[in-house]
Chain A
Amino acid sequence: MQEYIGIAVSFVLAGGIAGAMVFLASWLGEKKPSEAKLAPFECGETPFSLPGGKLAVKFYLTAILFVLFDIELVFLYPWAVIYRTLGLTGLVEMGIFLGILIAGFVYAWDNGALEWQ
């Protein structure tokens, strides 16, 4: 259990510092509330609505494009670490993978997924 003391200390320190900052900000800070400021923050979406209401699908389109590149990175990173041992085979395989991925991205771009309308 000895080795966990360091972790426990860093937990307490991190919690303490973060808690102190929140507390100090709300104690010392100036407050000029407005309706927009008091609304919960939700990435541009209306935070509360009845179920069955309409959702803007464009956020999800962007999120899916993000996933496309995120997954690309997941595979590129380990490849980059050992690409010397993989040699030409690895390069060609990665080329095929990226080619297919980029085809998907070109499709999305071509069909207006990047236009914020």
Chain B
Amino acid sequence: MPAGRSRATTTSSTSAGGHVEIVELTKSFGETLAVDGISISIEAGEFFSLLGPSGCGKTTTLRMVAGFEEPTSGAILLDGKDVARLAPNKRNVNTVFQSYALFPFLNVADNVAFGLKYQSLGRSEVSQRVGEALDLVQLAGYERRRPGQLSGGQQQRVALARALVLKPAVLLLDEPLGALDAKLRRALQVELKALQERVGVTFLYVTHDQEEALTMSDRLAVMSTGHIAQLGTPREVYEEPADAYVADFLGVSNLMEATVIRSGTDSSPCQLQIGEFHLEAECGVLSATGAVKLAIRPERVQLKPYDEPGQNRVPGMVERVVFLGSASQVIVRLAPGETLQSLVHNDGELVAFQQGSAVNVLLPPDALRVLPGGGASVAEIREETYGDQPDLAAVASPGAP
């Protein structure tokens, strides 16, 4: 059980509940199917991410949970009660928008107090809650500023405070770090995760940034063209991608076409052929047959001298050596034509392989993963998506910048 969830139950400020059950949820815009019957169960207090490229349906899903889009079919159970057809103001969920959507004519305190007006509270309680919320996001002292006088990161915190002050069962975050620069984004990732663990509210987080999703989530769903490609913990999704799409999207860019000669079992490896070379693989779908994709992470690809023979090796030629600081990235073209990246750790010595030199590429069987069906890569899916439907999220909310 992830740490976030266990801690949630002990935090006093937590509002009860926050269990979200998405059942066979579907949304179509005219002819286009944006969300295609997805089902997700999110535990109370969990940090759950929807990850995918633009147009995969993640934002539409979030907007349906928030109540801005009416599902074509399916149910959204919030603590057992179907809210799919309730107006947004009747749901105990709050949203942090990508553009923050802070009201420009109100100062920070009034922005945070906006939603409290709909709960019958005394004036002193309102100001106390606003103060607490601003403390929580470390913005005490900024009460009288206007949103226009704040930096992007500060506006982001106000948006968080404005949503959290209402003590929602679920907080929905639509690419909340998307508009910030890389350094601030990384700092806020850590902070956001810590905040979520502190308040214990269920977070449903939408992002196209795999690093963000992997760092912060308890679990995540990788989405592709309206359905879920894989659902699991960050470690599961990263280390055991279900198919080539997930592997590619999570940055496992070494994908090779291969043909199964003899399927494997739990105890025997899968025998494959890539070009004229014979390989064994011990991970992934070992029972696959026919054309498959082979995945291997760059840090597991080993470069050996050309004249050193052995098992699971394919000859190749170094195309490029890129110095990355802590490591060097060596790009190798294999004899059958595939290009691989190898990450060579920088331990003070020069990389022995120069551009143009011949090498023997060792692909250890325990690092080679068989992925079924030669599925479409992210690039191909993206192309399809952009071809006829530029961005479903943009279609759904034409005003959003």
A binds B: no
